[in-house]
Chains A and B, each alone.
Chain A
Amino acid sequence: DIQMTQSPSTLSASVGDRVTITCRASQSIRSWLAWYQQKPGKAPKVLISKASSLESGVPSRFSGSGSGTDFTLTISSLQPDDFATYHCQQYNTYPWTFGQGTKVEIK
């Protein structure tokens, strides 16, 4: 299986901060990576697919980049609604696998 490793596991930030979350794959997944946001008690919601394609309705402060094994999710200016857990997922090779999640907390 392809292992997905996110860093950091927890991130403390303030409203207005620029936030970057990293996801590293154990082998190349080309650009077949998605990012999800999950709030407590809710199902995840897709933010970005194919590494950098912003999903419809997702604010433009979210952006994704990378290819191969190294990827980043950036929130350009953190908003109160963005405090949540973020997951990356590879869909290049079965079985699809997820990172362990990054919790973005209020500083």
Chain B
Amino acid sequence: QVQLQQWGAGLLKSSETLSLTCAVYGESFSDYYWTWIRQPPGKGLEWIGEINDSGNINYNPSLKSRVTMSVDTSKRQFSVKLSSVTAADTAVYYCARGGGRVDPWGQGTLVTVSS
């Protein structure tokens, strides 16, 4: 059974870069896409993008200019960076196994952007 554990800075200032990492434990890291999803407080879910172990990436066009995803297969980890953050990027960020339906999910990280 796969489990995901994520970490990263929870408080940022406007214009800084958000950086989160997710470690995968359990089942195979290969043959899957690994995804990032965010949820602003009190709002719905937004798919940020996904990456697989070969480095193939799909980004949400709405964030593509500011997002960078990477993968470290030796550590079974994947990461996301979001540049030039603003208050609108304040959200709980989740890592998860994706490629379609999303399961399982990490515990979530609340990232707050202050001005």
Interface residues of B in 11-48 (CB under 8 A from A): 43-47
Q: Does B94 contact A (CB under 8 A)?
A: yes
CA–CA, A96 and B23, complex, Å: 23
Are B44 and A95 interface neighbours, CB within 8 A?
no
Partner of B47, one of A42, A44, A97, A101: A97
Are A32 and B58 interface neighbours, CB within 8 A?
no
Residues of B in contact with A (beta carbons under 8 Å apart): 43-47, 49, 58-62, 94, 96, 98, 100-103, 105-108
Please name 20 further chain A to chain B contacts, defined as beta carbons within 8 Å, in addition to the given A46-B103, A94-B58, sorted by A numbering.
Answer: A34-B100, A34-B102, A43-B94, A43-B106, A44-B45, A45-B103, A45-B105, A49-B100, A50-B101, A89-B45, A89-B47, A95-B58, A95-B62, A96-B98, A96-B100, A98-B45, A98-B46, A98-B47, A100-B44, A101-B44
Listed by A's residue number, 16 A-B pairs whose Cβ atoms lie within 8 Å are A1-B61, A1-B62, A34-B102, A43-B105, A43-B106, A44-B45, A46-B101, A46-B102, A49-B101, A87-B45, A95-B47, A95-B58, A97-B47, A98-B47, A100-B43, A101-B44
